[in-house]
Amino acid sequence: MDSAVSKTEFRNAMARVCAPVNVITTDGPAGQGGFTATAMCSVTDEPPTLLICMNARSSQTEMFKANGKFCVNVLPAEHSKLAAIFAGSITDMTARFAAAHWYPIKHSQPALRDAIVSIACQVIDIHRVGTHNVMVGQVFDIRQRLDGSALLYFDRHYVHVPSQNGSFGG
């Protein structure tokens, strides 16, 4: 099927879709890694499952596949610098993790201490779609905080929305 729109048109349209900013982490026999992504969403609640999308050309692809586990850390508004670090402004993985406070949740997956929510998953399926791997993960642990503002990405800029409980972060 021929695409009716260009890559540029599609990217410009997707820039207008507001999305939470996440740092996706992994740890295991293949090593510790992490990257920034907005491509994350729930799949089903029976069983609790979500998906992430990772560039197949990433140097971390094989590490994530080999570890077979990952943790989605939804960033609070105050972590725009951390988002930039895990997006590649710092390439050394040890330095990336040194930029914030982490703790291991179930199965030793790195969870950001002040994440809005951290969701740890076991990889149950991987599909290659174009330039990316879609990794489907079954949730095995969730940690969340009840305050703070989530960091969002909209129109190629970081923005935030205050939580509904009256606290305002950022």
pLDDT of the residue at 148: 85
What pTM did the predictor assign?
Answer: 0.91
Residue 3: predicted pLDDT: 63
Q: What is the pLDDT of residue 76?
A: 96
The confidence score (pLDDT) of residue 140 equals 97
Mean per-residue pLDDT pooled into runs of 10, the chain (170 residues): 82 91 97 97 97 96 97 96 95 96 93 97 97 97 91 91 55
Domains contained in the chain, CATH given: 7-160 (2.30.110.10)
Position 114 scores a pLDDT of 95
pLDDT of residue 168: 37
What pLDDT does 167 receive?
A: 43
| Contacts by 63-68, CB closer than 8 A, 24 or more apart | 63/26, 63/30, 63/31, 63/33, 64/26, 64/33, 64/123, 64/135, 65/123, 65/126, 65/133, 66/28, 66/29, 66/30, 67/26, 67/27, 67/28, 67/29, 67/30, 67/31, 68/28, 68/122, 68/123
Query: How far is residue 151 from each of residues 15, 21, 76, 160, measured CA to CA in Å?
Result: 15, 6, 5, 5
If one counts every other C-beta atom within 10 angstroms of the C-beta of residue 102, the result is 22
As to burial, measured by CB atoms within 10 angstroms (0-12 exposed, 13-18 middle, 19+ buried), residue 2 is: exposed
* Predicted pLDDT at 166: 47
**Which residues on neighbouring strands pair with residue 45, listed in sequence order?**
48
